[in-house]
Structure 1
């Protein structure tokens, strides 16, 4: 009787140790891939919500220009480019590319 209780306890401990590598992989995946991507998306949304007229931006398709009009009702912006004015969704404006396009701040 004591032997069967001991064997049951050791088998449950064994299953836990066999699951440990999978749990570690999930944690690593979360902290190195999923969490940084979520933070990047939050920053992108904050940037897109805070754009103003006159801001120089680059769209995700690579079009450079200056924002001339913001339409909050349908979530679009009008960007003046060398070819004229083009209407884009706010989501098409890239934070990463637009940061490089902004003039450097003097300290």
Structure 2
């Protein structure tokens, strides 16, 4: 299966959507501002460069990439984000509350 993501498009889209200044990003990365435009055109970028971009923009492009993968792909569950852990906790709590609600309905219906 071929999964292809144009990393440069992700970068450009994020910069445009958030009205970021490319010169500011370049300064934080200690690179010429023309490099930012070059990154936007690249389909592939070295992980280290992407890490530096993430740091400069305070945004996790790796999560965008991970979220674009098919849901049946495996991963290390120890690396689940706080948000995912919270969602799982809330799902468990919803199930528990649903069971309690159904039990209460049965008790109320049984009294009538």
Q: Same fold (TM over 0.5)?
A: no
More helix per residue: 2
Greater relative contact order: 1 or 2 (C-alpha under 8 angstroms, separation 6 or more)? 2
TM-score (norm 1): 0.30
More strand per residue: 1
